[in-house]
């Protein structure tokens, strides 16, 4: 392996910051600045800077583990471990049918792995029961985007548009903690004279940067957006020409908004009418403006409608498809965008095609060389799949996810996982979920393998291998190749990522997320390419045969003037609906699934801290990050703390109908007096997701992570 720097990308969040990796004599890598990547221009957060720590042998798994007769996980050979997995899955299939085998993926998997996992589930296992942890991330925004625009791409414009816009409303995003290098886009926005409005129940580090901070009661952002739209209408600020020319369904959405009087909205949200009016003024006066949502409005049992309400506000004011304007979602996980495009989601096929669309099934089946009728239909969503473990689903193959910590109602999910007949986990470390497995397979990591991811802008990126993986680990692609062969499918599961990507290009061709014109060589040369990117513009018009015949990357003829440049900005001329018009979706306020009452009088909301990532399986193993964020806490307003008799640092029990968590109090005026906050990165006694509510959004099947009823109890210090 060369000792020069390899340009690549961070393994963690959806910003996918560029970084250079240089091998060190001890077999790991050093991270250095990579200024040529426009998203972060060299800046990294602490997670990115310390990411190589998880490559060390003393932190990670380097041998397969199998459970012995005493119930202990012990090292085993790869053949024994793979044979056991194949036998476990085969036995379940024979005894209970293919749908008794479940597959659970992750938004951290590369495009190649997510694609192969979906194909493996449907072609090798023949199961419909596949979903992934991205369902818990951005599925409400995805569902709302498809309803309104006919297409879901997190941001329909590059991040670099943000500083040039006139106003940005950031709804439920604490990017100062979740993706710090992105904060500069908002700082530059303000330096350029633009306005930043942050909507968050907490005065977060992001909210502190805002020109205006609105702190609604958790779970009421839908009403807030409706109140703003009401005022837009009442004050005559609707862009009538845009609504007439570029949208459909306005009258019903208008009627719904007019039923939400500002005073009524003030009572629901706690945001005053003058603040609502000021927000409308700041948003409507500039020529350009945008709304960006994240997990706050999305992780609700009405998340799709909540995002829909923000989209309606954008459409009524003529924003989407206009320069420096529109609606976007700040996707969270490293490959949260690509992870939802290539078929590991319960209802999707590669290219963001729908699994119940006969034409999509026929296209993908042809690429896969199988009968379309052999492909199963849509399966359960992530929480429903986890809830069915041990009953309808008897065996589970899990990759790159740690639901024991990250799923809602986590104690119940843990119990369901424990009740499985057979569990196989592929992971880098022995996560809390892997520790429950019958077989654990240690996998290669980001710096040790090549693959592509798609960041929150829809920019497809090449992550390059910089070092040789240690003895004893294998890539997820090799694992699926080996398991497919053991289960009787000898072909169709290559281990070379570029070979998988070439197939993915064909499978996605002509679909909403069209990667057909993207090659590894282009990704390397162009520093990323935005989808949709058809192979060549003529080929799309000529039909699929021409696409499939498109030259491969090593063919010099590929570099023709007809190469599609990719699509950084969507919807400039038309939306991706049959008639090209965006759709208003009429929505109305409704309460959260579990309102506070006498027994559980306080609201709990959950989120992240800057030094930990998701379930913390990797970042909790990094000394520097642990020192910065060693454990959970409960953020409490001073008035609530006084009623409880709790001082700073006192242990506090937070109790919901689903469980109990104990963590030290962090007393702050930055949170509403009716709400407490807990970060969700830790297992054990302080596991925030022991408390959260799995009430699901009817469309996206997103659980209600962001609001549930709890009570607080003082706990004696030991």
Residue 98 engages ligand SF4 in binding (rule: CB under 6 A): no
C-alpha 429/C-alpha 440 separation (Å) is 9
Residue 114 engages ligand SF4 in binding (rule: CB under 6 A): no
Q: HEC string of 459-501? A: EEEEECCCCCCCCCCECHHHHHHHHHHHCCCCCCCCCCHHHHH
Question: Token pair of 618, please?
Answer: 């990797």
Instruction: For residue 697, give every residue at least 6 positions away whose Cβ sits within 8 Å of its Cβ, in sequence order, or none.
Output: 139, 140, 143, 300, 301, 302, 303, 304, 703, 704
Closest to 461 in 3D by CA, of 4, 8, 1, 5:
8
Find the part of the chain contacting ligand SF4 (CB under 6 A) among 14-22, 199-207, 243-251, 488-496: 14-22
Residue 18 engages ligand SF4 in binding (rule: CB under 6 A): no
C-alpha 119/C-alpha 368 separation (Å) is 8
CB–CB of 55/448 below 8 Å? Answer: yes
| Residue 392: other Cβ atoms inside 10 A | 16
Find the part of the chain contacting ligand SF4 (CB under 6 A) among 42-50, 211-219, 531-539, 708-716: 42-50
CB–CB of 180/186 below 8 Å? Answer: no
Closest to 107 in 3D by CA, of 434, 335, 329, 295:
335
Q: How far apart are the first and last CA of the chain?
A: 52
Residue 681 engages ligand SF4 in binding (rule: CB under 6 A): no
Min separation Cβ 45 and ligand SF4, Å: 3
Nearer to ligand SF4 (CB atom), residue 45 or residue 197 = 45
CB–CB of 52/20 below 8 Å? Answer: no
C-alpha 276/C-alpha 228 separation (Å) is 6
Evaluated on CA atoms 659, 665, 670, 675, the torsion sign reads: positive
Nearer to ligand SF4 (CB atom), residue 29 or residue 655 = 29
Residue 31 engages ligand SF4 in binding (rule: CB under 6 A): no
Q: Which residues in the 455-494 window bind ligand SF4 by CB under 6 A?
A: none
* Radius of gyration of the chain, Cα coordinates, nearest whole angstrom: 25
Find the part of the chain contacting ligand SF4 (CB under 6 A) among 38-46, 467-475, 507-515, 522-530: 38-46
**DSSP per-residue codes, 215-253:** -PPTT-HHHHHHHHHHHHHHTT---HHHHHHHEE-HHHH
Nearer to ligand SF4 (CB atom), residue 462 or residue 479 = 462
Backbone angles phi, psi at 221, to 5 degrees: -65, -25
Nearer to ligand SF4 (CB atom), residue 47 or residue 474 = 47
Min separation Cβ 180 and ligand SF4, Å: 6
CB–CB of 130/346 below 8 Å? Answer: yes
Find the part of the chain contacting ligand SF4 (CB under 6 A) among 15-23, 113-121, 581-589, 615-623: 15-23
C-alpha 654/C-alpha 663 separation (Å) is 8
| Residue 193: other Cβ atoms inside 10 A | 8
CA angle 351, 521, 465 (to 5 degrees): 90
Which of 31, 44, 536, 602 is the binder for ligand SF4 (CB under 6 A)?
Answer: 44
Question: Token pair of 288, please?
Answer: 């350009």
Find the part of the chain contacting ligand SF4 (CB under 6 A) among 11-19, 128-136, 199-207, 671-679: 11-19
Nearer to ligand SF4 (CB atom), residue 18 or residue 328 = 18
Distance of CA 481 to the CA centre of its chain: 26
Question: In Å, what is the CA distance from 38 to each residue of 19, 23, 324?
Answer: 11, 24, 17
Min separation Cβ 47 and ligand SF4, Å: 4
Residue 17 engages ligand SF4 in binding (rule: CB under 6 A): yes
C-alpha 442/C-alpha 440 separation (Å) is 7
Count of residues that interact with ligand SF4, criterion CB under 6 A: 14
Nearer to ligand SF4 (CB atom), residue 10 or residue 460 = 10
Nearer to ligand SF4 (CB atom), residue 20 or residue 40 = 40
Min separation Cβ 182 and ligand SF4, Å: 7
Which of 8, 21, 47, 322 is the binder for ligand SF4 (CB under 6 A)?
Answer: 47
Min separation Cβ 14 and ligand SF4, Å: 7
Which of 5, 21, 31, 45 is the binder for ligand SF4 (CB under 6 A)?
Answer: 45
C-alpha 364/C-alpha 395 separation (Å) is 26
Find the part of the chain contacting ligand SF4 (CB under 6 A) among 6-14, 211-219, 496-504, 522-530: 6-14
Min separation Cβ 660 and ligand SF4, Å: 31
Residue 54 engages ligand SF4 in binding (rule: CB under 6 A): no
Contact code string over 250-289 relative to ligand SF4, x by CB under 6 A: ----------------------------------------
Find the part of the chain contacting ligand SF4 (CB under 6 A) among 39-47, 62-70, 353-361, 420-428: 39-47
- Cis before 532 (ω within 30): yes
Min separation Cβ 16 and ligand SF4, Å: 5
Instruction: For residue 415, give every residue at least 6 positions away whose Cβ sits within 8 Å of its Cβ, in sequence order, or none.
Output: none
Nearer to ligand SF4 (CB atom), residue 31 or residue 636 = 31
Residue 646 engages ligand SF4 in binding (rule: CB under 6 A): no
Which of 5, 8, 10, 271 is the binder for ligand SF4 (CB under 6 A)?
Answer: 10
C-alpha 152/C-alpha 512 separation (Å) is 9
Residue 53 engages ligand SF4 in binding (rule: CB under 6 A): no
Determine the residue with CB nearest ligand SF4. Answer: 48
Q: In this structure, are strands 459-463 and 529-530 parallel, antiparallel, or unpaired?
A: antiparallel
Nearer to ligand SF4 (CB atom), residue 184 or residue 281 = 184
Which of 5, 13, 146, 688 is the binder for ligand SF4 (CB under 6 A)?
Answer: 13
Nearer to ligand SF4 (CB atom), residue 49 or residue 569 = 49
Q: Which residues in the 148-207 window bind ligand SF4 by CB under 6 A?
A: 179-181
Given the rule CB under 6 A, which residues bind ligand SF4? 10, 12-13, 15-17, 40, 44-45, 47-48, 179-181
């Amino acid at each position: 392996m060369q000792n020069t720097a390899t340009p690549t990308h961070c393994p963690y969040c959806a910003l996918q910051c560029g970084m250079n990796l240089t091998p060190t004599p001890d077999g790991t890598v050093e991270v250095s600045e990579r200024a040529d990547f426009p998203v972060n221009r060299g800046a990294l957060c602490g997670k990115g800077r310390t990411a190589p720590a998880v490559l060390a042998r003393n932190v990670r798994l380097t041998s397969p583990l199998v459970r012995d007769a005493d119930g202990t996980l012990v090292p085993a050979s790869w053949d024994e471990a793979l044979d056991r997995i194949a036998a476990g899955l085969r036995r379940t299939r024979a005894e209970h049918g293919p749908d008794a085998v479940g597959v659970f993926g992750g938004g951290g998997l590369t495009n190649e792995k997510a694609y192969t996992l979906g194909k493996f589930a449907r072609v090798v296992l023949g199961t419909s029961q596949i979903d992934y942890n991205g369902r818990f991330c951005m599925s409400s925004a995805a569902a709302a985007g498809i309803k309104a625009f006919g297409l879901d791409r997190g941001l329909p414009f590059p991040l670099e548009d943000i500083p040039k816009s006139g106003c940005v409303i950031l709804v439920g995003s604490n990017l100062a903690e979740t993706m710090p290098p992105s904060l500069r886009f908002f700082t530059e926005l303000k330096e350029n004279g633009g306005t930043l409005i942050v909507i968050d129940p907490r005065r977060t580090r992001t909210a502190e940067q805002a020109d205006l901070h609105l702190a609604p009661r958790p779970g009421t952002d839908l009403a807030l957006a409706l109140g703003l739209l009401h005022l837009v209408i009442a004050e005559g600020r609707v862009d009538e020409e845009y609504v007439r020319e570029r949208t459909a369904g306005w009258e019903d959405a208008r009627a719904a908004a007019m039923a939400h009087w500002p005073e009524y909205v003030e009572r629901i949200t706690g945001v005053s009418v003058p603040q609502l009016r000021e927000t409308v003024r700041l948003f409507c006066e500039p020529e350009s403006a945008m709304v960006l949502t994240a997990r706050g409005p999305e992780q609700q049992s009405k998340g799709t409608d909540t995002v829909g309400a923000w989209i309606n506000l954008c459409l009524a004011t003529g924003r989407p498809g206009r320069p420096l304007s529109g609606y976007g979602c700040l996707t969270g996980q490293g490959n949260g965008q690509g992870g939802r495009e290539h078929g590991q989601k319960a209802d999707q096929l590669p290219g963001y095609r729908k699994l119940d669309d006969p034409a999509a099934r026929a296209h993908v089946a042809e690429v896969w060389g199988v009968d379309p009728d052999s492909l199963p239909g849509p399966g359960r969503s992530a929480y429903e799949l986890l809830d069915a473990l041990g009953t309808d689903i008897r065996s589970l193959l899990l990759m790159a996810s740690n639901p024991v910590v990250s799923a809602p109602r986590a104690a119940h999910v843990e119990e369901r996982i424990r009740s499985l007949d057979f569990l196989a986990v592929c992971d880098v470390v022995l996560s809390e979920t892997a520790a429950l497995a019958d077989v654990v397979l240690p996998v290669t990591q980001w710096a040790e393998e090549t693959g592509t991811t798609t960041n929150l802008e829809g920019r497809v990126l090449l992550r390059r291998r910089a070092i040789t993986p240690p003895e004893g680990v294998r890539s997820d692609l090799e694992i699926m190749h080996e398991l497919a062969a053991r289960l009787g499918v000898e072909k169709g599961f290559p281990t070379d990522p570029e070979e998988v990507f070439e197939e993915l290009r064909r499978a996605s061709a002509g679909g909403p997320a069209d990667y057909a014109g993207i090659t590894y060589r282009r990704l390397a040369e162009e520093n990323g390419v935005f989808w949709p990117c058809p192979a060549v513009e003529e080929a799309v018009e000529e039909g699929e045969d021409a696409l499939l015949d498109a030259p491969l990357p090593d063919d010099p003829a590929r570099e023709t003037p007809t190469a599609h440049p990719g699509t950084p900005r969507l919807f400039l001329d038309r939306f991706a609906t049959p008639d090209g018009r965006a759709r208003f979706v009429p929505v109305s306020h409704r309460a959260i699934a579990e309102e506070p009452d006498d027994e559980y009088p306080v609201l709990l909301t959950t989120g992240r801290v800057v030094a930990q990532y998701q379930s913390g399986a990797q970042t909790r193993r990094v000394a520097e990050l642990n020192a910065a964020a060693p454990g959970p806490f409960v953020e409490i307003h001073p008035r609530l703390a006084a009623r409880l008799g709790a001082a700073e640092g006192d242990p506090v029990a937070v109790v919901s109908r689903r469980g109990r968590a104990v963590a030290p109090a962090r007393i702050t005026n930055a949170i509403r007096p009716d709400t407490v906050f807990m970060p969700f990165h830790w297992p054990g006694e302080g596991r925030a997701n022991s408390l959260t509510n799995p009430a699901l959004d009817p469309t996206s099947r997103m659980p209600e992570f962001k609001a549930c009823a709890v009570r607080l109890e003082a706990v004696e210090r030991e």
